Amino acid sequence: MKKLCRSAEGALPFTEVEPPPLSSERTEALFLKGFPMKIYPVIHVECESQTLRNARLIVEAGCEGFFLINGGRNLSLIYKAVRQMYPNKFIGVNILGEPLNRLASAVIAYRGISGVWTDQFPDPESEFSRVRNRLEDKPKWFASVCFKTQNEVPFDKIREHVERANPVPDVLVTSGPGTGRAADPRRVEEIKKWAIKPIGLASGVSPENVKSYKGLVDYVLVATGISKSWTEIDPEKLDCLMENVRK
């Protein structure tokens, strides 16, 4: 369906702009599976026992997987323990603060990893991208676009940023303006308009507002809205969020 946009020249009040065709990944996600919204809780890793405890709560709530975010404490060893416990679950990692070139080693070190979430804008020439593309069973790349840790993107520049990112990762991950702060659904909708890949949302999602993003995003990466502290998930909040997603 064509979208109406204002003419830059002003000769006509509006010009018709055709959004890009959807990629096969996004077509499958949105249409064949009936607009799913996968919930991937995020565990802020403190130690092995804490990570396994929270992983169990996530699995018991019916989530298809989760992400581990490092706290600078032997994340690779903890990942191995969690993977051994849950060999068939989606388990991704986000190694905070690491540049893309240094993340290349993580793709190899984390055997069986399902996904890697990067804070940086996706770069097809990065060592991370090259190493990942050489792997036979490459992890899904969740790349941050129009994200809270990056420079703020004005609304009228969203299209430009999304189109630059489209060819590179598997999932475009956006956020609200800060940790625990909800994203404006209008900005998410604008990202969706120009994205040819599935869309992830990572900040400010809660049991109360998750319905606002149904039909706009394919993945929700959530921590604050389902937690009782920085490192501990609240099972009641998680159950409530999952119940609202299923309605």
Tell me which of 121 and 51 has the higher pLDDT. 51
| Residue-wise pLDDT tens digits, 64-73 | 999 999 865 6
The reported pTM is: 0.82
With CA atoms as reference, report the closest residue to 17 among 244, 194, 220, 199: 194
Q: For residue 180, give every residue at least 6 positions away whose Cβ sits within 8 Å of its Cβ, in sequence order, or none.
A: 203, 204, 224, 225
pLDDT in tens, 231-247: 999 999 999 999 999 88
Residue 75 has φ and ψ, to the nearest 5°, of -60, -40
For 146-202, the pLDDT digits (tens) are 888 777 889 999 999 999 999 989 999 998 887 888 999 999 999 999 999 999 999
* Cα–Cα distances in angstroms (integers) from residue 218 to residues 9, 25, 37, 99, 227, in the given order: 36, 11, 5, 26, 21
Q: How far apart are CA 178 and CA 63, in angstroms?
A: 24
Q: Do 20 and 196 form a contact (C-beta atoms < 8 A)?
A: yes
CA–CA gap between residue 225 and residue 234 (Å, rounded): 9
CA gap 182, 161 in Å, rounded: 20
- From the centroid of its chain, how far is CA 53? 23
Domains and CATH numbers, the chain: 21-246 (3.20.20.70)
